[in-house]
């Protein structure tokens, strides 16, 4: 009788473990920055200073690479990576030359790590809500959904946009 109970208990534990959900993974659980946030901030500031010496105003847009894959490994766009140190697909770095600030418009989640049919293999990776990205890279994140509103606002002001 005890053997049957033990066998049933082991069966249920193995079944529960087999169907348990893998937890979401934060950005820095799988990677690290190649440069300090101070170095990245200096790079952005140097670009803004260079444009300021030429009396340029407005916004600088530096797009990330698209995260959609045809099977190849994702490789970030060089310019985006140089100024952010981040591998955020489908994001846009916006540098505002008027107040010398920077902001990354990013999707809420990294869709490369999403699969509705294989949730245990691809549990998901939040981007926008991952506070460690801002803390370690030294640049704030905003929702990519707000980017078009920014462009509408800048167009209404006839702002210059550098891409």
pLDDT of 123 above 60: no
Report yes or no: 162 and 59 within 8 Å, Cβ to Cβ.
yes
Q: Is the pTM of this model over 0.75?
A: yes
Task: Identify the CATH number of the domain defined by range 25-162.
Answer: 3.40.350.10
pLDDT in tens, 15-64: 555 555 566 777 788 788 899 999 999 999 999 999 999 999 999 999 99
Average pLDDT, the chain: 83
Domain spans of the chain, in order of start: 25-162
Residues 46 and 21: their CA atoms lie apart, in Å, by 45
């Amino acid at each position: 009788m005890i053997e049957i109970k033990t066998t049933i208990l082991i069966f249920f534990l193995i079944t529960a473990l087999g169907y348990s959900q893998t937890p979401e993974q934060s950005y820095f659980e799988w990677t690290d920055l190649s440069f300090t946030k101070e170095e990245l901030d200096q790079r952005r500031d140097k670009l803004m200073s260079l444009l300021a010496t030429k009396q340029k105003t407005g916004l600088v847009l530096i797009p990330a690479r698209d995260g959609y894959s045809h099977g190849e490994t994702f490789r970030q766009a060089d310019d985006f990576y140089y100024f952010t140190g981040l591998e955020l697909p489908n994001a846009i770095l916006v540098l505002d030359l008027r107040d010398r600030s920077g902001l990354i418009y990013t999707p809420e989640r990294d869709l490369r790590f999403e699969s509705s049919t294989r949730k245990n293999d691809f549990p998901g990776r939040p981007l926008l809500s991952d506070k460690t990205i801002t803390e370690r890279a030294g640049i704030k994140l905003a929702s990519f959904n707000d980017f078009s509103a920014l462009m509408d606002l800048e167009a209404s002001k006839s702002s210059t946009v550098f891409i």
